[in-house]
Amino acid sequence: MSVLDIVQWPDPRLMEICAPVDAITPQIETLAADMLETMYAAPGRGLAAPQVGATVRMFVMDTGWKEGKPDPLVCINPMLQEVSEERVTNAEGCLSIPGVSADISRPAQVQMVWTGLNGGRYVQSFIGFSAACVQHELDHLDGVVTFDHLDPETRAALEAEYAA
């Protein structure tokens, strides 16, 4: 396993819509392991493939490890099946935009379906921080970054802060 370089905004790879993973190959397995190692080293709670330069529909996350409750997930070709009408606003950071945090409003609960490294299909509901993390990482697979959720004035201010 290797710690990979994390792509920094405004790298154009962060704006690309990622291609589906066609098969779980040894290369995908290695990428997943490297992404988990990179996420933990960063230290983050989620990391999408385009953040390490691979434009495929895969992300890893572990929202409990910092509290001593590790639960790593590798999500291949993830899709939301359901989203709640209730919304919550949380401060979100991003490993590709270090030092910047923005208040983002998202559905409070989501249900996601994905393929695991073993080829199995999984369906799980996520609430709270985990729901925000899932949605943040899914955004990366669609070429969306934190800045894209902001009104023009807030975005300009945070981009200036990031550039400073």
CATH number of the domain within which 86 lies: 3.90.45.10
Q: What are phi and psi of 88, to 5 degrees?
A: -135, 155
60: number of Cβ within 10 Å: 26
pLDDT confidence of residue 106: 97
Which residues have a catalytic role annotated? Answer: 137
pLDDT in tens, 20-70: 999 999 999 999 999 999 999 999 999 999 999 999 999 999 999 989 999
Question: Is 1 part of any domain?
Answer: no
Asked if omega into 98 is within 30° of 0 (cis), the reply is no
Q: What gap in Å lies between CA 125 and CA 113, rounded to an integer?
A: 9
Q: Answer yes or no: pTM beyond 0.85.
A: yes
Tens of pLDDT, residues 131-143: 999 999 999 999 9
Range of the domain at 98: 12-163
Distances (CA, A) of 1 to 27, 47, 72, 111: 12, 16, 15, 30
Q: What is the pLDDT of residues 68-95, one digit of tens each?
A: 999 999 999 999 999 999 999 999 999 9
Report how many domains make up the chain.
1
